[in-house]
Chain A
Amino acid sequence: MKPSIFGYQAPTTLDEAISLLAGDPDAAVLAGGQTLLPAMNFRAANPSLLVDIQHIDGLRSIVVGAEAIVVKAMVRHREFELDADVRRVNPLIAEVMQHVAHIPIRNRGTVVGSLCHADPSAEMPLLLVLLGGSVIVQGLSGSREIAAEKFFQSFLTTARSHDEIVVEARFPLLPPMAGWAFDEVTRRHGDYAVVGVGCVLSLDESSRASGVRLAACGIADRPVRLKEAETVLNGTALGTSDLDAAVAASMAAVTQPDDINVSASYRRRALGTLIRRMVAKAAQRAQMAEVAS
């Protein structure tokens, strides 16, 4: 299990990195390497050139802005997880991060790298979709912003062009007083999610839900916003029948067939369970926020 032969460059500027990518259709970006290197050791990925972006200036910061947290391309999972400002403005993030692999992997793997890998079972893509975030990609012809739901196109496939580098991801802040929740079912702790569900919602004065956002991973070829369920739940008191309806409205979103871990039918059951639990938990947190304010 050793990688096959490849070239290696460690540019110090973004422009250099982009032209290296543009010059070799089989080049790959190397950031933390926690997904790429296992694939290379299995010789499942055989890039001709690795463009190591760790020495490029300006790719290591986490900036909490007025609307979003901007995470640059070389920010490691563990840094994102432990950042005090991030924890304060968006506690959902730290909650999600604890489910990402294990600490030694989080010490090396990057947030943006995980987004670019676009595993439909992974937590980071789900988080970006759930929060309605985006990524900024930079290529030969300049930079562009791609919304999360456009970015993740299918299994391990994103809207990034080969000669583009994702330089940052933007995770929106939680609405004030919002409740939030995330949980997933895995076979072992730290494994990719079999099914994961995140929820953000607010409650109005009469305890009716608004701004409901629900997203799931592990059920399709990409992370999925459960928009039908959101519509069903908005404006309701989140009673049992509302939840039943939301779950029923989400079942069609499960398109992932049986695999070595679980059956599709199991996925539907777990998705339903997690939707109920996450909506309830988010509502509880929203209520507590209200009481506290």
Chain B
Amino acid sequence: MTRMMKGTTPVRSADAQTEVELTVNGEVVRRIVSLRMLLSDFLRHELGLTGTHVGCEHGVCGCCTVLIDGKPGRSCLTLAVQANGYQIRTIESVASADGTLHPVQQAFKECHGLQCGYCTPGMVMNILGRFEEKEPLDLSDDGIRELLSGNLCRCTGYLNIIAAVRRAAELLGRTA
């Protein structure tokens, strides 16, 4: 193999670019991005927030779920440019600064609600978003399943995640 570095720095692509400004985990960020950049790629590759995962890029798996203006939404089905002015929360904002797990995360750990951990951030954000909604929680089996539907998990078979939602409600005093 040659040890010579080849001149490979290419011309950037012909994509039109624009500046976006949004608030991510409480911090205002400004970046120049391609018009077609997905919010998921923006978070992961522009901001380095790689806790938001990408599983299908067609909205089915839910791995990329973040809070968009407080509500769970798919970052793969949102353009960065479309999110201009939005408030975004990602998994990186959920635990305390010292690393202490949020009750939803703690519940996942206690209940063995994760295996490979790839779907987990999306699951946690979806659950967190629902817990933060005003609508009363339905903690029946069916109610929790309904809440989790929209996030695929291929490892756990879901039952431990259902248990984790119930445990999180307990830890958060939301069982009444």
Mark A residues whose CB is within 8 Å of B: 1-8, 10, 30, 33-34, 37-38, 41-42, 50, 52, 54, 78, 82, 98, 101-105, 107-108, 189-190
Whether A107 contacts B78 by the Cβ 8 Å rule is no
- CB of B59 within 8 A of CB of A37, answer yes
Give chain B nearest CB distance to A71 CB in angstroms. Answer: 18
A107–B73 contact, CB under 8 A?
A: yes
- CB distance B79 to A105 under 8 Å? no
Q: State the interface size on chain B (CB cutoff 8 A).
A: 36
**Pair count A-B, CB < 8 A:** 95
- CB–CB A102/B71 < 8 A: no
B68–A4 contact, CB under 8 A? no
- Quote the shortest CB–CB distance from B85 to chain A (angstroms): 9
Does the CB pair B35–A8 fall under 8 Å? yes
Report chain B residues within 8 Å CB of A78. 71
Which residues 113-169 of B sit at the A interface, judged by CB distance below 8 A?
Answer: 126, 129-130, 135, 145-147, 149-151
Q: What would be 22 A-B contacts, judged by CB atoms less than 8 Å apart?
A: A2-B36, A2-B41, A5-B14, A5-B15, A8-B79, A34-B74, A37-B38, A38-B58, A38-B59, A42-B58, A52-B81, A102-B151, A104-B65, A104-B74, A105-B77, A105-B150, A107-B68, A107-B72, A108-B68, A108-B78, A190-B149, A190-B150
Partner of B77, one of A4, A7, A37: A37
How many angstroms from the CA of A82 to the CA of B133 in the assembled complex? 11
Closest partner residue, chain A, to B134 (CB atom): A82
Closest-by-CB residue of B relative to A4 is B36
CB-CB under 8 A for A33 and B72, given A2-B38, A4-B36, A5-B14: no
A contact residues around B11 at 8 Å (CB): none
- Do B82 and A52 touch across chains, with their CB atoms under 8 A apart? yes
Q: A103 near B130 (CB under 8 angstroms)? A: yes
Q: Is the CB of B78 within 8 A of A37?
A: yes
Return chain A residues, CB-CB under 8 Å to B146: 98, 189
User: Are A103 and B82 in touch, CB under 8 angstroms?
Assistant: no
Are the CB atoms of B77 and A33 closer together than 8 Å? yes
Question: Bound state CA distance, A189 and B79, in angstroms?
Answer: 27
Cβ-defined partner of B81 (8 Å) among A8, A34, A42: A8
Given A37-B59, A52-B82, A107:B150 Cβ within 8 A: no
Find out whether the CB atom of B16 lies under 8 angstroms from the CB atom of A108. Answer: no
Nearest CB in chain B: distance from A230 CB, A: 32
Q: A54-B82, A104-B62 are in contact. Are A1 and B57 (CB under 8 A)?
A: yes
> Distance (Å) between the CB of A120 and the closest chain B CB?
20
